[in-house]
Amino acid sequence: MTAIDIRDVSLEYGEGSGARLILSDISLTVRSGEFLSVIGPSGCGKTTLLRLIAGLVTPTRGAILCGDRKVDRPSRDRAIVFQDYGRALLPWRKIWSNVALPLEGGNIQGAALRERAIELLKVMRLEAVADHYPDQLSGGMQQRVQIARSLAQEPKIWLMDEPFGALDAITRQQLQDEVARLAAERNMTVVFITHDLEEAIYLGDRVVVLGAHPGRVVEEISVDLPKPRDQLTTREDPRFLAHRHHLFGLLQGH
């Protein structure tokens, strides 16, 4: 089944002679349960594409469908995890309260709200810091909180905008494996934006390469590596190295 269907989407900012074409004629389908990595040079519109899928931005031309519904606004079915975890969390709320934010106004109230938030923190192994504030946590822990909060929506589609870009290498690899595991366990469709070629290959079932000025699909490759993947053996696989070599060459040309 198709989870996301992007049909001839273009996005233009401005009008008349000052108009600037950001994305041009993007056509792309994402299968249900697929982990799609998107790479490309800075300024090619990767984050803009994610915001279009999230319903935060409306295309100038074309349409995006999730399931059988046209995307024209945000939806609880689509959760987004931002790169800047420091700004994504509310500093005046305790950790459990940050996680509970998407649940407020729903059927869960009172003590049950905290209990559900704690359950989600346990998934990310953060229950011990439930009563801390964001500035008391490391960057990696803050990003885990943001991931836990996104899971509170019980999304079908997980949109991730370079979520590990500011983290150290070890924390980054740990969270890569966490995200891969959670996506598989919950059968979520993932669109993952990254600058890191190895991260794109390691996580993705498929990698889409965008070119710049304007942003457009240059190439798509299927990642023929078995799952679950391993930070050492997968990255040493000749197929992994071949994909990296190919993608590096593509980006050099754009």
Distance of CA 176 to the CA centre of its chain: 11
Kindly state whether residues 93 and 38 are assigned to the same domain: no
Residues in a beta bridge with 220: 208
Kindly state whether residues 172 and 107 are assigned to the same domain: no
Kindly state whether residues 245 and 180 are assigned to the same domain: yes
pLDDT under 50 in the chain at which residues? none
Confidence (pLDDT) at 251: 86
Kindly state whether residues 232 and 202 are assigned to the same domain: yes
- For 3-61, write each residue's pLDDT tens digit: 999 999 999 988 776 788 999 999 999 999 999 999 999 889 999 999 999 999 999 99
Q: Evaluate whether residue 223 is within a structural domain.
A: yes
Q: Evaluate whether residue 14 is within a structural domain.
A: no
Q: Evaluate whether residue 225 is within a structural domain.
A: yes
Q: Which of 154, 182, 204 is the last residue of a domain?
A: 154
Q: Evaluate whether residue 163 is within a structural domain.
A: yes
Lookup: tokens for 14: 């401005």
Q: Evaluate whether residue 10 is within a structural domain.
A: no
Query: What single letter denotes the amino acid at residue 77?
Result: D
Q: Which of 132, 154, 176 is the last residue of a domain?
A: 154
How far apart CA 115 and CA 213 sit, in angstroms, is: 48
How far apart CA 252 and CA 254 sit, in angstroms, is: 5
Q: Evaluate whether residue 146 is within a structural domain.
A: yes
At 138 the three-state DSSP class reads coil
Q: Which residues span the domain enclosing 104?
A: 88-154
Q: Which of 138, 154, 170 is the last residue of a domain?
A: 154
What's the total number of domains in the chain?
A: 2
> Nearest Cα to 194, choosing from 182, 209, 214?
209
Alpha helices per DSSP H over the chain: 46-54, 85-88, 95-100, 111-123, 139-151, 169-185, 197-203, 233-236, 238-252
Kindly state whether residues 203 and 251 are assigned to the same domain: yes
Kindly state whether residues 204 and 236 are assigned to the same domain: yes
User: Which residue matches tokens 């909060």?
Assistant: 149
How far apart CA 37 and CA 94 sit, in angstroms, is: 32
Beta carbons of 160 and 191 less than 8 angstroms apart: yes
Confidence (pLDDT) at 254: 61
How far apart CA 2 and CA 71 sit, in angstroms, is: 14
In terms of pTM, does the model score above 0.85? yes
Do the strands 189-193 and 20-31 form a parallel or antiparallel pair, or are they unpaired? Answer: unpaired
